[in-house]
Structure 1
Amino acid sequence: MGEVVPFTLMVIMEGCTIGLTILAKTAITGGMSPFVFVVYTNAIGSLLLLPLSFIFHRERTEQSLLTFPLLVRIFFLGLTGIAVSQNLAFVGLSDSSPIVVCAMGLLIPSLSFLLSIIPRTTRLDWRNSSSQAKLMGTLISITGAVVVELYKGPFIRKSSYFYAHQLKVIPKLFVFYSAPDNWILGGILLAAASLSVAMWNVIQLGTVKQYPQVMKVVSFYSLAGTIQCLVFSLIMERDLNAWKLKLNLELLLIVVTGVFGSIIRSNVHLAWSRMKGPFYVPMFKPFGIVFATFFGVSFFTNSLHYGSVIGTLITGMGYYAVMWGQIREEELRKERDVERTDDTSDQIKTPLLQEQEEAQV
C-alpha cells in the first residue's frame, strides 16, 4: 500500500489536471477571457493559501519575509511562476490543444538544465554519464517539441467541429476548436510559458534554501502573482462584462481550478516529495500525454493528429532522459558526501590513536 497509494494519487492528479485543462479550453473557446480566468483562479488560491500557511507553519522563526532580498525573490517568483507563465499558457492553449500543452510542459527540465548552466550552478562533465544523459535528453526533448510544432501528420480522429461545420451545426458539449487554427503561435506561447516556469524553478531553489517555510513562501508569491496578473489583465481585457461572474459552469470551473491547483495538488505533491524524494513527483508528468490522448479521442475535442502524439512521445523520452541524469547526479553527490564524511572521521581517529600509543609508551 505504501507504493500503490502514492502512485494512484499521482496518476489521478495528472488526470484531473488534464481534465481541467480541457474544460478551461472549452470555456475560453466559448468566450471566456483567459486573462480573467487566470486572475480569478489565482485569487481563490491566494485567499485559501495565506491563512493555511500560517496554520501550517506555527513555529516561530528568526527569519522574516519582510527583508528586501526575499521580497525581491517573491516578486520574481510571482512574475515567472504565475503572471507570465499562466497567461502565456492559457493564451497558447486557446490556439492549440491539451496535448500540445503536455509536449511543451515536458520541456521544463531541459530548459531548467540549460538555465542552470548560464550562472554555472551546474558543472558539465563530458565524461560523466549524468551530464551526457541530460544533454542527450535536452536535444531529444527539443526535437520532439519541433515535431509537435511543424508536423501534424494525418488525423487519428477529426474533431466534431470538422463534421459539424460541414452540417452548419455548432456543437456545445465538451467541444472546442480554434478557428483559424493558430497551432504554431499557440505552441510558441506554450514553450515560452515553460521557459518562464524553468526560470521560476531556478529562483525557487535558492529561495527555499534561504527560507525553509515553504507554504509561506508559496502563499506570498501566489498573492504577488495574483496582483501582477490583475494589473496585466486590466490592460489586456478592458471589457467590463468579461469580469462579471454568473452562477454557471464557468464559475464552478474557476472555483474548482483554484482549489485544486493551490490546495489539493500542491499539498499532494509536497507530501510525496517529502516521503519519496524530489524526483518522484516529476516522474508522473508524461502521464498527461495518455490522458490528453484519451480525452481527445473519447470526447471528440480537438482534432488529434499522429504528428502531435509522436512528437509528444519523443519529448517524453527526452524528459525521462534528463530526469535520469538528474537522479544519477544526485546519487553521485551523495556518494561523494559519504566519502568525505569517512575521510573526515579517519582523520579524527588517527590523532586519537597516536595519542593513545604515546600515553602507553
Structure 2
Amino acid sequence: MRRVALSDVMACGSMVVVEGCIIGLTIMASTAMAKGMSPFVFVVYTNALSSLILLPYSFFFDTNRVTISQNLAFVGLSYSSPIVACGFANQMPALSFILAILLRSTKFDWKRSGSLARLIGTLISFGGAISLTLYKGPTIKAPSLTLPLRPPLLVFISTHENWVLGCKLFAASSFALAIWNFLQAKTLKICKQVMKIISFYTLFGTIQTTGLALYFERDPEAWKLGLNFELLVIVLTGIFSSLIRTKVQMWCTRLKGPFFVALFKPCGIAYATTFGCLLFSTTFHYGSITGAFICGVGYYTVLWGQMKDEEASKLGGRNKIVSPSRDEKVPLLQQDSQV
C-alpha cells in the first residue's frame, strides 16, 4: 500500500516538475528570440541535437517531431508571449475532437454526457482562444517612469510584438499538430514495430526544418552560435525535449494510464501566470491570464468528456450495446511538441 502511494506521489511530482520545466524553457526561448535569435534556426538546432541524442537510443525512447507545428509555434512565440503558448497548447483536445467528427472517426451522441461535455468544452476552449487573441487587458503593474530603464535578465514579451499574428500562428500550429496526431494514430495501427522507425523521425525532422529555415533565414550571421545564452537554451531544450520529458511521460503513462499525463497540461498556465506576475509584471496582462484560464477550463471539460465516452464504450462492448465510440486514441506523449 505504501509502495502504491509512493509511486502516485512520484508520478504526480514528476509531471508537475516537467510542466514547470517546459514553461521555464519556453520563457528562455522567448528571451533568446527577443535578443535576435531566429525561431527557424532555433528549431533546426534543437532538432539536430535531439537527433544526435536519440539515434543511439531509438529502441529505448519515443519521440515526436512535427516540423510545421514546431516552426509555427516558435515563430508565434517570437511575436507574443509564453502565456499564449500555454493557452493554445490547451486547444489540442478540442481540435482533435472536431477533426475526429469531420473525418468520421468518432460518433457524436447527443444522449451521452461525455459527448455533450466534449462539445461544451470545445466551445469554451475556442472562446478562451478568441479572448486570448483579442483582449490583452492592462498590465499587472504599470512600468515606473522614475526608475532608469535597464534590460531585464529574462523577458516575457517580444521586442517586436504582434500579438494577433502570434496567436494566429499558435492556432495554426495546434491545428497542424492535431492533424499529425490523427495521422500517426492511423500509422501506429499499420506499423507494429514502431520503435524501429522512431530514429528516423528526428532525422527527417532536422532535414525538413533545415530546408525551411534556409528559405526564410538567409542571413549567415543568424546561424552563428557562440558560448552564450542562446546556445544554453538550445542545449537545454534539445536534451529535455528528447530524453527527460519523453522518458518521464512514458513512465507515468505505463504507471497511471493514458489520461494521466494529459491531466497535468494546464499546470503550465499556473506556472506562466506565477512567473508573469512575480517577474514580468510590467509586461504581463490581465487579459492574458483570463484567456489562458478559460482555455484550461475548456481543456479539462473536453478531457472529462473523452474519459466518459471511453468508459461508455467499454461498458457498451461488454454488454454488447450498439454504437460504441470509435475515437482514435491519440498518443498522449505527442501533445507537447508545440512548445
Distance, in Å, in 1 between the alignment partners of 2:270 and 2:197 is 33
Q: Per-residue deviation at 1:155?
A: 2.1
Q: Per-residue deviation at 1:84?
A: 0.8
Distance, in Å, in 2 between the alignment partners of 1:274 and 1:55 is 14
Residue 113 (str. 1) matches residue 97 (str. 2): yes
Distance, in Å, in 1 between the alignment partners of 2:259 and 2:122 is 17
Q: Per-residue deviation at 1:313?
A: 1.0
Distance, in Å, in 2 between the alignment partners of 1:4 and 1:26 is 33
Residue 196 (str. 1) matches residue 176 (str. 2): yes
User: What are the within-5 Å matches in structure 2 for residues 7-22 of structure 1?
Assistant: 7-22=12-27
Select 1:42's aligned residue among 41, 47, 50: 47
Amino acid at match of 2:70: Q
CA 1:192–1:11: 2 relative to 1, 3 Å: same
Residue 86 (str. 1) matches residue 70 (str. 2): yes
Residue 292 (str. 1) matches residue 276 (str. 2): no
Select 1:275's aligned residue among 255, 258, 261: 255
> 2:330 maps to which residue?
none
Q: Per-residue deviation at 1:179?
A: 4.0
CA contact (8 A) 1:43 1:226 kept: yes
CA contact (8 A) 1:15 1:291 kept: yes
CA contact (8 A) 2:33 2:158 kept: no
Distance, in Å, in 2 between the alignment partners of 1:33 and 1:326 is 38
Amino acid at match of 1:48: I
Distance, in Å, in 1 between the alignment partners of 2:193 and 2:140 is 47
> 2:8 maps to which residue?
3
Q: Secondary structure at the match of 2:7?
A: coil
CA 1:134–1:55: 2 relative to 1, 3 Å: closer
Could you report, residue by residue, the CA deviation over 1:266-302 in whole angstroms, capped at 9, with x for unpaired residues? 1111121122111111110100011101111222277
TM-score, normalised relative to structure 1: 0.82
User: What are the within-5 Å matches in structure 2 for residues 238-257 of structure 1?
Assistant: 238-257=218-237
> 1:73 maps to which residue?
none
Select 1:127's aligned residue among 104, 108, 111: 111
Distance, in Å, in 2 between the alignment partners of 1:233 and 1:206 is 29
More helix by percentage: 1
Q: Per-residue deviation at 1:315?
A: 1.1
Q: Per-residue deviation at 1:336?
A: 2.2
CA contact (8 A) 2:31 2:155 kept: yes
Moved over 6 A (4+): none
Distance, in Å, in 1 between the alignment partners of 2:16 and 2:157 is 27
Q: Per-residue deviation at 1:97?
A: 0.7
User: Which shows bigger deviation, 167-176 or 27-36?
Assistant: 167-176
CA contact (8 A) 1:177 1:301 kept: no
CA 1:205–1:310: 2 relative to 1, 3 Å: same
> 1:140 maps to which residue?
124
Distance, in Å, in 1 between the alignment partners of 2:271 and 2:72 is 22
CA 1:302–1:157: 2 relative to 1, 3 Å: closer
Amino acid at match of 1:321: T
CA contact (8 A) 1:175 1:301 kept: no
CA 1:184–1:206: 2 relative to 1, 3 Å: same
Distance, in Å, in 2 between the alignment partners of 1:33 and 1:56 is 29
Q: Secondary structure at the match of 2:58?
A: helix
User: Which shows bigger deviation, 21-30 or 331-340?
Assistant: 331-340
CA contact (8 A) 2:125 2:298 kept: yes
CA 1:126–1:176: 2 relative to 1, 3 Å: closer
Distance, in Å, in 1 between the alignment partners of 2:183 and 2:115 is 22
Q: Per-residue deviation at 1:13?
A: 0.4
> 2:215 maps to which residue?
235
Could you report, residue by residue, the CA deviation over 1:136-172 in whole angstroms, capped at 9, with x for unpaired residues? 10001000111111112222234xxx548x8673404
Select 1:183's aligned residue among 150, 163, 180: 163
TM-score, normalised relative to structure 2: 0.87
Residue 32 (str. 1) matches residue 56 (str. 2): no
| Number of aligned positions between the proteins | 316
Q: Secondary structure at the match of 2:103?
A: coil
Select 2:133's aligned residue among 149, 156, 174: 149
Q: Per-residue deviation at 1:244?
A: 1.4
Residue 327 (str. 1) matches residue 307 (str. 2): yes
CA contact (8 A) 2:249 2:261 kept: yes
CA contact (8 A) 2:132 2:292 kept: yes
After superposition, the CA RMSD in angstroms is 2.1
Distance, in Å, in 2 between the alignment partners of 1:327 and 1:167 is 52
Where structure 1 has 5 or more consecutive residues not aligned to the other structure, the ranges are: 58-76, 342-361
Distance, in Å, in 1 between the alignment partners of 2:160 and 2:144 is 16
Select 1:318's aligned residue among 269, 290, 298: 298
CA contact (8 A) 2:126 2:295 kept: yes
Could you report, residue by residue, the CA deviation over 1:200-252 in whole angstroms, capped at 9, with x for unpaired residues? 11112112222244444443222222111000000111111111111222112
CA contact (8 A) 2:69 2:172 kept: yes
